[in-house]
Chain A
Amino acid sequence: AQTVTQSQPEMSVQEAETVTLSCTYDTSESDYYLFWYKQPPSRQMILVIRQEAYKQQNATENRFSVNFQKAAKSFSLKISDSQLGDAAMYFCAYRSAVAGGGGADGLTFGKGTHLIIQP
């Protein structure tokens, strides 16, 4: 079974600065997808960014980018120019691309990192 580990229960950053959230995972598969989801106090999970394991290029979405190290099984999220609205729980998630041909096993989530933005 796959596992996802987020070693930072809480992180704090000054507004406008850059912060990196860590995520490592364990899998024996070579084909999979990785996601970062954000859950603000309103509780609704929102996709931040997605990475396909077969792509070497790191995904970016505006101020959000990842550092995907497949050999090290590491998938960190960098948030640049942090804004107050970035305050939330951030979850790293894994999905197999093999099972059922459609990721039928569901997402495996890490425990989350609580990101605090200091004004």
Chain B
Amino acid sequence: KAGVTQTPRYLIKTRGQQVTLSCSPISGHRSVSWYQQTPGQGLQFLFEYFSETQRNKGNFPGRFSGRQFSNSRSEMNVSTLELGDSALYLCASRPQRLSGANVLTFGAGSRLTVL
């Protein structure tokens, strides 16, 4: 069974640009969530999608957005990039039946560097 796949693995952007990251969940998983990991702030929850609907969003500005497609694949977009957006962006999926007990399975992450 394939794991959570994130693309691209590495990317470099300049301030003011925008970026789109992609995440393909484990087959059969309908929930996808995104986390930002930085040395200073640690791991922070961005948002979660289930059946193409955003269920919740963390404390991030509106420049951070996402969506989920009918095949459960998800994308997140960051517009007007700032230096502070440099981070490892982790995607995670969990099973169809939502429960707090569900274990998240993480992808390897997308490393974004903003210059």
Interface residues of A (CB under 8 A from B): 32-33, 35, 37, 42-47, 50, 52, 91, 95-112
- Interface size in chain B (residues, C-beta < 8 A): 27
Closest to B92 in A: A45
Min distance, Cβ B108 to any Cβ of chain A, angstroms: 5
**Do most interface residues of chain B lie in helix, strand or loop, or is the interface mixed?**
strand
Are A106 and B90 CB-contacts (below 8 A) given A33-B101, A44-B107?
no
B104 touches A107 (CB 8 A): yes
- A45 vs B100: C-alpha distance in the bound complex, in angstroms? 18
Report chain A residues within 8 Å CB of B99. 102-103
Q: Which chain A residues lie closer than 8 Å to B106 at the CB level?
A: 37, 44-46
Interface flag for B45 (CB, 8 Å):
yes
- The reply to whether the CB of B102 lies closer than 8 angstroms to some CB of chain A is yes
A-B contacts, 12 listed (Cβ < 8 Å): A33-B101, A37-B106, A44-B106, A44-B108, A46-B106, A99-B56, A103-B98, A103-B101, A106-B47, A106-B58, A107-B35, A110-B42
Find chain A residues with CB under 8 A from B105 CB.
Answer: 47
Q: Are the CB atoms of B98 and A101 closer together than 8 Å?
A: yes
Q: Roughly how many angstroms separate A35 CA and B102 CA in the complex, as a whole number?
A: 11
B18 smallest CB distance to A (angstroms): 23
The residues of B that contact A109 with a CB separation of less than 8 Å are 42-44
Q: When chains A and B are docked, how far (Å) is the Cα of A98 from the Cα of B56? A: 13
